[in-house]
Amino acid sequence: MAQENVYDNRSIVVKYIHHKLWKKGYVWEEDRGGTRHDPCSALHKVLREAGDELERLYQSDFAEMSKQLHLTSITAQQRFTAVIDELFRDGVNWGRIIAFFEFGGTVCVECVNKEMTAHVDNIAGWMTEYLNGPLHAWIQENGGWEAFVELYGRQRDSVFRSSWSSIVTVFGLAALGAVGLTIGAYLAQK
């Protein structure tokens, strides 16, 4: 894992959020990466593609959930963190990490839609903290970001040209269905 030090979680989060906002026609000033060579470009690409696939499959669920959070300056971090904690309550896998990114990106889009752009920077910070904290050991123990890129690279064609069952196989998303139920249960409590 000689290249593991190349991966900066803040940069990974910023690039992902920038992509989600760009797709909706928004510009976020935080992403100042420019066009210089990015040694993490393969990771950014596969993470975007995996997130976009998840978005296609569960777009309405993520959008509805982000709306249901009713983020305010006072409640934003607590509510965002509660959903993320629930997402990983039963363990970590690459599928849940993709869901983590997609949820964060969707909430950022919702914040911009509601003219709460300042929350985007906050969400990027919370996501980075979560990657550097609770998720860091799991990512390292499972081959680091290189393993995610390699896993995606081996299964790339079948993942995005096939049914949901192939996605489950490739990304270990067997628990993702439980994520929807778990998040639904969380929202039902509110």
pLDDT in tens, 160-174: 344 333 333 333 333
pTM of the model: 0.76
- Smallest Cα–Cα separation from 130: which of 94, 72, 93, 81? 81
Domain boundaries, the chain: 4-26+36-189
What is the number of other CB atoms lying within 10 angstroms of the CB of residue 168? 15
Instruction: Read off the pLDDT of residues 63-90 as tens digits, 9 standing for 90 and up.
Output: 777 777 777 778 888 888 888 998 898 8
Can you tell me the distance from the alpha carbon of 93 to that of 96, in angstroms, rounded to the nearest whole number?
5
Instruction: Read off the pLDDT of residues 25-67 as tens digits, 9 standing for 90 and up.
Output: 888 765 455 445 566 788 999 999 999 988 888 877 777 777 7
Top CATH class, 4-26+36-189: mainly alpha
Can you tell me the distance from the alpha carbon of 158 to that of 161, in angstroms, rounded to the nearest whole number?
5
